[in-house]
């Protein structure tokens, strides 16, 4: 897809490439690039009132009795989507990982910063919607019965502006950075 876009840019005259129409066309075309490296993803979305009190999300890529377990290594990635009007400058999440191959769950508390000291949203995004990711595990096997449980000790008022929280699994080493050259250069 990217090569095709660059080929189109190379045959168009410079004046045509600098037009607003070309910019809109290239943005729409690049937005259609499929992310194929994600093997599993699941997101919980929230309304404008914030994350409900007592919210717990369980992300389970394999059923507990799955006979189709693959021996690949995976990256486990946490994603938080938020808007620029978020009341919280950070979010606190309690994360527990379970697996039938481990006797006790692995628990941790994350405090993720959403905005810089000067109020600028961190992560990727535009038009008031942003996404921040954190790799929880890198290069781990996903054993039978593996699941990730996420909750927050924060009140709904403190989480207004958080749109979604999710987990993605991708095979380790399968991600390559998407590099789209600016066709105007």
Say yes or no: 130 and 165 in one domain: yes
Residue 153 included in any domain: yes
- Nearest 5°: the CA angle 155, 158, 161 is 120
What's the pLDDT score for residue 172?
81
Query: Who contacts 6 (Cβ-Cβ below 8 Å, separation ≥6)?
Result: 181, 183
Say yes or no: 24 and 43 in one domain: no
Name the nearest CA neighbour of 169 among 73, 92, 69: 73
- What average pLDDT values come out for the chain (185 residues) when binned by 10 residues? 51 52 50 58 90 92 56 87 89 90 81 92 89 88 84 94 92 56 40
What's the pLDDT score for residue 25?
52
What's the pLDDT score for residue 110?
93
Say yes or no: 143 and 89 in one domain: yes
What's the pLDDT score for residue 81?
94
Residue 185 included in any domain: no
Asked whether the CA dihedral 13, 30, 162, 75 is positive or negative, the reply is negative
Query: Who contacts 153 (Cβ-Cβ below 8 Å, separation ≥6)?
Result: 92, 94
Say yes or no: 75 and 163 in one domain: yes
- Calpha distance 143→24 (Å, rounded): 44
What's the pLDDT score for residue 11?
53
Say yes or no: 77 and 91 in one domain: yes
Name the residue range of residue 71's domain.
Answer: 37-171
Domain of 144, CATH number, reads 2.60.120.1380
The number of folded domains in the chain is 2
Structural element, H or E, at residue 27: helix 20-31
Residue 180 included in any domain: no
- Calpha distance 178→185 (Å, rounded): 18
Query: Who contacts 126 (Cβ-Cβ below 8 Å, separation ≥6)?
Result: none
């Amino acid at each position: 897809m990217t090569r095709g876009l660059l080929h189109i840019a190379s045959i168009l005259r410079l004046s045509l490439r600098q037009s607003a129409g070309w910019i809109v066309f290239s943005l729409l075309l690049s937005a259609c690039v499929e992310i194929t490296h994600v093997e599993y993803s699941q997101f919980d979305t929230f309304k404008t009132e914030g994350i409900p009190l007592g919210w717990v999300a369980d992300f389970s890529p394999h059923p507990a009795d799955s006979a189709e377990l693959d021996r690949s290594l995976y990256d486990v990635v946490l994603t938080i989507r938020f808007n620029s009007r978020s009341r919280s400058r950070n979010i606190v999440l309690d994360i527990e990982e379970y697996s039938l191959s481990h006797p006790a769950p692995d628990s941790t508390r994350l405090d993720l910063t959403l905005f810089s000291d000067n109020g600028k949203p961190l992560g990727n995004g535009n038009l008031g919607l942003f996404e921040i990711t954190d790799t929880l595990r890198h290069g781990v096997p996903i054993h039978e019965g593996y699941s990730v449980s996420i909750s927050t000790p924060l009140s709904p008022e403190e989480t207004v502006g958080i749109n979604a929280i999710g987990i993605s699994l991708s095979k380790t080493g399968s991600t390559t950075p998407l590099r789209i050259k600016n066709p105007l250069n």
